[in-house]
Amino acid sequence: MKTRTQLLALLIGVIVAVALSMVPASTLWANLPQASTPPLGSFVNAQSAYGHLPLSFEANLGQTALSVKFLSRGQGYNLFLTSTEAVLALTRLDRATIGKGSEVEDSRSSRETSQSVLRMGLVNANPAPTISGLDKLPGKANYFIGNDPYRWRTNVPTYVKVQYKDVYPGVDLVFYGNQRQLEYDFIVSPGADLTAITLSFDGADQLTVDAKGDLVLRFGDSDLRLQKPVVYQMVNGSKQHIPGNYRLEDQHHIGFQVAAYDRSKPLIIDPTLSYSTYLGGSGGDQGQSIAVDAAGNAFVTGSTQSLNFPTTVGSFQTTLVGSQDVFVTKLNPTGSSLVYSTYLGGSGDDFGLGIALDSVTNAYVTGGTTSTNFPTLGAFQPAHAGSVDAFVTKLDSTGSALLYSTFLGGSDQDRGNDIALDSVGNAYLTGFTVSTNFPTTLGAFDTTFNGGGDAFVTKLNPTGSSLVYSTFLGGSVGLNATDRGESIAVDAAGNAYVTGTAESTNFPTTTGAFQTTHAGATDAFVTKLNPAGSGLVYSTYLGGNGLDQGVSMVIDSSTNAYVAGGAGSSNFPTTLGAFQPSSAGGSRDAFVTKLNPTGSSLVYSTYLGGSGDDFGLGIAHDSFTNNVYVIGGTASSNFPTFGAFQPALAGSFDAFVTKLNATGSGLTYSTYLGGSSIEATGAARIALDPFSNAYVTSSTASTNFPTTAGAFQTTSAGGDDAFVAKLVDVVLPPAPSGKVTGGGTVDVPGGVGNFGFIVQRKDAADPIKGNLNYHNKASGAKIKNSSFTSFAISGNVSVFEGTCTNNGAACTFRVVVTDNGEPGDTDEFTISISGGADEGGTLRSGNIQIH
């Protein structure tokens, strides 16, 4: 089986995502398309920003006219999907209005007169596509009309989406939506003709393309806007934008067009806001940490002072108990509603700072509390011990009950900043303590408080009833000698990795570590503890001559450690070829650093910032591509952006979300995220779902923070609110079948290369057949294929890979060919042998044909 990383080199395709919004003509809607990275063996739907139709489509089991396949109903509208068109009817409709001989009618209210109808069809499309519901919902629709049971319809299935297969050759169409916004995606497979898609609109008064490139349909006193598509490719680690536009053919028809692009490389839709929502009440609310389950539900924790913070019926605690409580909220995958939401706290001040999920989506939360009556259960430490204690709480998967909850602290101040889990449910915490009697365990690395303030690392057993180990982590020499643990990760062997900030000049480091001496006023640190918590595997400072802070970290499967934070040093350690090797100015920049598995050297390290104040607050790692995602805060008007849905600073301080490539040398995307006031001045975190979509949380004081239509809470409730946003991008797989033939000569350094090949596969389930011969007369290399491992066609480009022999020695090959039409003198052939440089190019002679 090929890994996803291997497959990504071949992925090619296009999605055109469209959202139709019914709004007053004076209102400008910015409906941002979204997409998601595909699971193996499936295609991917790009999803537009969530809009106004409910995510529910009923199968037609006789509750309306036979020509209707699926329907959706809502306040003031009905949507009917037939084999050949979509009919969107505003207000209630009679048979004559929308039927036009097609039998379409609203069976609940057929006697009333419609006011507005829009019909959307596909020109020269397949008249009988396969139509099916996708993502079946648990809810059913029931119709009990009149007193004749024969006309009743019960248990009518409902779906999130409706898919039309092969509306054009190689083109699928998917409808979905929320409330009053209909959204649909054209999924254009490699090799298919994007320009074949033509939409007809009957009922629109006027179609225009505005100065932004959006298509505007004037419809009575409302506008429907289809945002200009944004398309790009990654070329040598950098983003290359491909122009995409709507093609206005006449006053009733539109199409799509994309400029020429390199068909041997992926074609990608820009990252967009899948959803973005406020989360809060009328008081102060702060989003602090986020985790995501395999289904795309987002779990958020933070603090709230709001009496009306949104909670759900049946959740553990539905009312604010103290002046400030923890909150724990689970948002559904579309960001449109709460699965559960609960307060968590006692009569004092309580704040949630870290959250993690186990395999059955129980949520583990840590933070700090001044409440002596903070809820506990089965606790290692059932009583409050100091002015502020850390806590660890395990909530069940429904958010309705505690599985355990415990204080953790000594006689002074203690705070849990982050939490991680191993595969059996042990919880690992790091944080900050000034308690000389913070609970430690016999045999732990450091059982004695070092003075000032120490980091701590604690491992709780799966029931929360006892400590597996607990240790101080800090030094004693320095102006304040305060050391803080900010973030923690755990590898498969049970080693704990911690980052934070060290003021101590004798913070414990290990021989051979990257940086064993303190360099500035504060340094970041990265420490790896062994599974018993009894010793350091490695420990290193990370910093320069100023104020540097480690805030968030993550590890990959090879135990490389990725750290993000703030660098106030002009000489923070960076690496050759890094995206930003020097500071851009301001009091500090964000930084992103990758440490090797032994902590002895930097794989890469880069500043990230502009001329103002920038700070990294959260980091996540994509295990498939080794890209890293960072969230932070910036006051820089020139913060580096790329492919941004928000390219400019909107307030005095915005959040930013940046995706760095696998080598730390370039941006995959980077965007501001904020309104006209301030965001992300405190905490912020980022998490990824299995498809590498990014979920972020922090806080905002802006009343115009960018939210998406249909999100759970689109307006500020007052004071500071938390926010939760999901960002996505997409890569689509190529066509897996077809036939390619060719032969001829190409120029190679010092001479000529001869080639000949035939490669074919009938469909994805069949083996790849054929042969390849290549002779580089200058180098003497003679390549003959042994087997083919991959084969793809996209338009006039084909890519195939396999194993080979080079003068009898084993090798691998990758070939990219381009058929530019007859007579073949502009066709192209390139080959890479065993990962070496490409050889070839435009043909000297010969021909290539993609069948």
SS (H, E, C) 486-511: EEEEECCCCCEEEEEEECCCCCCCCC
Give, rounded to a whole angstrom, the gap between the first and last alpha carbons of the chain. Answer: 27
At residue 780, the pLDDT reads 92
Q: What confidence category does residue 100 fall into, taking pLDDT thresholds of 50, 70 and 90?
A: very low
The DSSP code for 102 is S
Interval 720-731 mean pLDDT: 82
Integer Rg of the chain from CA: 29
Q: What are phi and psi of 4, to 5 degrees?
A: -65, -35
What is d(CA 390, CA 455) in angstroms, rounded to the nearest whole number?
Answer: 12
Q: What confidence category does residue 133 fall into, taking pLDDT thresholds of 50, 70 and 90?
A: confident
The structure's pTM equals 0.62
Q: Is a pLDDT exceeding 50 seen at residue 695?
A: yes
Alpha helices in 139-275 (DSSP H): none
What is d(CA 791, CA 798) in angstroms, rounded to the nearest whole number?
Answer: 7
Interval 191-206 mean pLDDT: 74
Task: Retrieve residue 293's tokens.
Answer: 């389950």
What is d(CA 315, CA 338) in angstroms, rounded to the nearest whole number?
Answer: 11
Contact of 700 with 720, CB cutoff 8 Å: yes
- Report pLDDT digits (tens) over 303-354: 999 999 999 999 999 999 999 999 999 999 989 999 999 999 999 999 999 9
The DSSP code for 6 is H
CA nearest neighbour of 793 among 267, 266, 264:
264
Q: What confidence category does residue 478 fall into, taking pLDDT thresholds of 50, 70 and 90?
A: confident
What is d(CA 438, CA 386) in angstroms, rounded to the nearest whole number?
Answer: 10
- Report pLDDT digits (tens) over 490-546: 999 999 999 999 999 999 999 999 999 999 999 999 999 999 999 999 999 999 999
- Report pLDDT digits (tens) over 55-73: 577 777 666 667 788 887 6
> Which percentage of the chain shows pLDDT scores above 70?
76
What is d(CA 432, CA 485) in angstroms, rounded to the nearest whole number?
Answer: 6
What is d(CA 805, CA 787) in angstroms, rounded to the nearest whole number?
Answer: 10
Interval 128-136 mean pLDDT: 79
Q: Is a pLDDT exceeding 70 seen at residue 194?
A: no
Q: Residues in the chain, how many?
A: 851
- Strand positions, DSSP E, 765-824: 769-776, 782-794, 797-806, 809-818
Contact of 22 with 53, CB cutoff 8 Å: no
DSSP-derived 3-state class of residue 333: coil
Q: Is the peptide bond before 823 cis (omega within 30 degrees of 0)?
A: yes
Contact of 685 with 254, CB cutoff 8 Å: no
CB count in 10 Å sphere of residue 294: 11
Placement of tokens 């021989």 in the chain: 511
- Report pLDDT digits (tens) over 34-56: 222 222 222 222 222 223 334 57
Task: Retrieve residue 92's tokens.
Answer: 């209630």
At residue 19, the pLDDT reads 40
- Higher-confidence position of 242 and 815: 815
Identity of residue 377: L
Half-sphere exposure of residue 502, counting CA atoms within 13 Å on the CB side?
A: 32
At residue 172, the pLDDT reads 77
- What is the chain's mean pLDDT, rounded? 81
Q: Is a pLDDT exceeding 90 seen at residue 402?
A: yes
> Which percentage of the chain shows pLDDT scores above 90?
52
Contact of 731 with 693, CB cutoff 8 Å: no
CA nearest neighbour of 382 among 406, 412, 348:
406
What is d(CA 685, CA 694) in angstroms, rounded to the nearest whole number?
Answer: 10
Beta strands 285-292; 268-279: pairing state: unpaired
